[in-house]
Amino acid sequence: MDMISNIELGLWTALTPENLSLCLLGCLIGTLVGVLPGIGPGATIAMLLPVTFGLPATGAMVMLAGIYYGAQYGGSTTAILVKIPGEATSLVTVFDGHAMAKLGKAGVALGIAAIASFIAGTITTLLIALLAAPLSVFALEFGPVETFALLLLGLSCVVALSQGSLLKAAIMALLGLLLSTIGTDPMQPLQRLTFGWTEIADGFNFVVVAMGLFGLAEIANSLASREDRTQGYTRIGRLLPNWSEFKKSLAPILRGTFLGSALGFLPGNGAVVAPFASYAVEKGLAHDRERFGNGAIEGIAGPEAANNAAAQAAFVPLLTLGIPPNPIMALMMGAMILHGIVPGPRVLTEQPELFWGVVASMWIGNLMLLVINLPLVGVWVRLLNVDYKLLYPAIVLFCCAGVYSLGSSPADVAQMAAFGFLGTILSANGFEPAPLLLGLVLGRPLEEKLRQSLELSQGSVSSFLDSPIAVVLLVLSAIAIVASVLRSMQKLPSRPATLA
C-alpha cells in the first residue's frame, strides 16, 4: 500500500464513532491531567491501563495517545497563565508564554501554542506516514545481534538523556534490568530470584510497577511539595494571533517541527529535549535576543511545535521497532502487550488498522484540541483551583482498584505499594524512576537477544562487529554515554524531569 492509501485506511479507522469518541475522551482527559495538580500523563496512562482491557486494541491506543498529547496542551495552558509548567515538556513555554500573559497577551500566547502544536502535529503525521513503512521493512531484517544493539541504544539514550546524575540514572537502569531477570529464565525452565514466592514466578507485572512508580509515588511527591496553583491569572484577551504575529511564528514552528520530529524518532526522551533545543535555536537565530524571556512569540511557537512533534514521533520507534523511547511509550507498549499485540515491525503488516488508525487519530486529536481547548481555556484554568486533598484519595483508590482488577490479586496491590514507596524514596534522592521502568521493559528481550546472538555465533563476540547495522547502533550507544559523561563533567545545566 502506498502512503495515501495508508493514510486513508488510518482515517477510516480513526473516524469510526467509537474511535472518534475515544480520541475525544483521551484528549479531554489529557488536557485535564495536564492542568490538574499532582497528576501527569504517565500516572494517568498507568492508571487507565487496566480499564483499557475492555476496549479494542486500536481504541485503547487511540485513547491513551490522546491523553499523551492532550497533556502537552494542558501543560502549556498552565505554563502560560500561571507560570506552572503542567508537564516537563512545557517548561520552556513558561519563559516567554507567561511574560506575554503579563503583557495582557495570554490569549495570543495560548493561541499560538495551540496553532504551533497543530501544525507540528499535521507535518509529523505526514512524516510518520512517509517513514514508518520503510523503517519497519528495514527493522524486519534485524536479527538477534541488531536487535540487541538497538535495545542497548534505547537504554543508553534513556540513561544519557535523563535528568541530573548520569550515575544515578545508570544505577536505576541496572536495577530495572535486574528486576527483569526475576521469574522464569527466558530460555530454560528455571526460576530465578523468586525466593519461592509464586506471585512473582512470571516476573513483576509491568503495569503494577508502573502504577507504583508513577501513580502512588506521584501522590506522595505532590503532597510533599505542594505548589500554590491557585494564584490568579491575567486577562486572556484575544485568542488568535494577528497576521504579523503569525508571520513571525511560522518559521520557528517549521524549524521546531523538524527538530522535534528528528529528536522524537530517536530513542531517548525527545519530547523533553526538543523544546529546549528549539528555544536555543530560535534565540540563536534572533537579531534581538533580549526579547527572549520577555514575551517573544517565537519563544513559544518553536518549542511548542517541537514538543508536540517529538511526542508524536516517539510512537515510531515503538510501533516500527518495538523499542519504547520513553517511559510513556513503555506504558503504551504495556497496553499493546495487554491486548496481545507484540510491538515491533510486524505491527505495520499484521495490524495495519491499529498502526495507521493511531497515526491518523493523532492528527484528528490535534484538530480536536485546537477546536475544543481554546474556547474552553477558562474552564481549564478554573480547574487549577481543585483541592488536591479531594483529588489524591481518588487517585489512591483508582490505583488500588485498577491494579486489583488486573488479576483479582491482592499481591499485585501489595507489590504496587512497595514500588510506590521505593519510587518516592528513590526520586527524593535524585534517582529517576524512568530508567528503571525502561530497564524492566527492555531487560528480558535484551538478555534473550544477547544469549541468542552468542549461541548463533558459537560464542564469537565478533558477530557484533560483523553486522554494519549493529556496529552503527553500538557506536551510537557509546557516543550517547560518552557525550553525557562529558556533559556531566562540564557541569552543564541538566534537563528537567522526564515524566509526569
Partner 1 sequence: MPAANRLTAVLFLAIALIAFVNTWQFSLGTFDEPGPGLFPKLIAGLLAMLSMPLIARKGISANDGDFLRLLRPSLAIFAAALVFAATIQGSSLARFGIGVPALGMPAAGTLALLVSGLAEKRTRWVRLAILATLLPLGFSVILRFALGQPVTLAPWLLGY
Residue 311 · residue 34 · CB < 8 Å: no
Q: Which residues lie closer than 8 Å to 256 by C-beta, 6 or more apart?
A: 116, 120, 274, 275, 278, 282, 301, 302, 303, 304, 305, 306, 309
User: At which residue does the C-alpha cell 475522551 appear?
Assistant: 25
Dist. CA 224–CA 244, nearest whole Å? 45
Residue 37 · residue 391 · CB < 8 Å: yes
Binds partner 1 by CB under 8 A, chosen from 250, 262, 411, 481:
411
Binds partner 1 by CB under 8 A, chosen from 84, 416, 441, 476:
416
Cell of 425: 524514596
Q: Does 242 bind partner 1 (CB under 8 A)?
A: no
Among the residue ranges 171-179, 247-255, 339-347, 469-477, the one whose residues contact partner 1 (CB under 8 A): 171-179
Q: Does 396 bind partner 1 (CB under 8 A)?
A: yes
Q: Does 181 bind partner 1 (CB under 8 A)?
A: yes
Q: Does 208 bind partner 1 (CB under 8 A)?
A: no
Residue 260 · residue 272 · CB < 8 Å: no
Q: Does 462 bind partner 1 (CB under 8 A)?
A: no
Q: Does 171 bind partner 1 (CB under 8 A)?
A: yes
Q: Does 175 bind partner 1 (CB under 8 A)?
A: yes
Dist. CA 322–CA 341, nearest whole Å? 11
Residue 251 β-bridge partners: none
Q: Which is nearer to partner 1, 305 or 426 (CB)?
A: 426
Dist. CA 158–CA 438, nearest whole Å? 8
Q: Does 414 bind partner 1 (CB under 8 A)?
A: yes
Binds partner 1 by CB under 8 A, chosen from 126, 250, 280, 450:
450
Residue 269 · residue 87 · CB < 8 Å: no
- Residue 183 φ then ψ, to 5°: 110, -155
Binds partner 1 by CB under 8 A, chosen from 460, 466, 479, 486:
460
Residue by residue, DSSP assigns 199-241 as: GGTT---HHHHHIIIIIIHHHHHHHHT--------------S-
**Positions in 52-71 near partner 1 (CB under 8 A):** 54
Dist. CA 365–CA 230, nearest whole Å? 29
Q: Which is nearer to partner 1, 379 or 397 (CB)?
A: 397
Give the nearest distance from C-beta 389 to partner 1 in angstroms. 6
Q: Does 404 bind partner 1 (CB under 8 A)?
A: yes
Q: Is 378 exposed, middle or buried (0-12, 13-18, 19+ CB in 10 A)?
A: exposed
Q: Does 147 bind partner 1 (CB under 8 A)?
A: no
Q: Does 219 bind partner 1 (CB under 8 A)?
A: yes
Q: Does 383 bind partner 1 (CB under 8 A)?
A: no
Site string for partner 1, 34-53 (x = CB under 8 A): -----------------x--
Binding site for partner 1 (CB under 8 A): 51, 54, 167-168, 170-171, 174-175, 177-178, 181, 185, 187-188, 190, 192-193, 195, 216-217, 219-221, 223-225, 389-390, 392-394, 396-401, 404-405, 408, 410-411, 413-414, 416-418, 420-421, 424-426, 428-431, 443, 447, 450-451, 454-455, 457-461
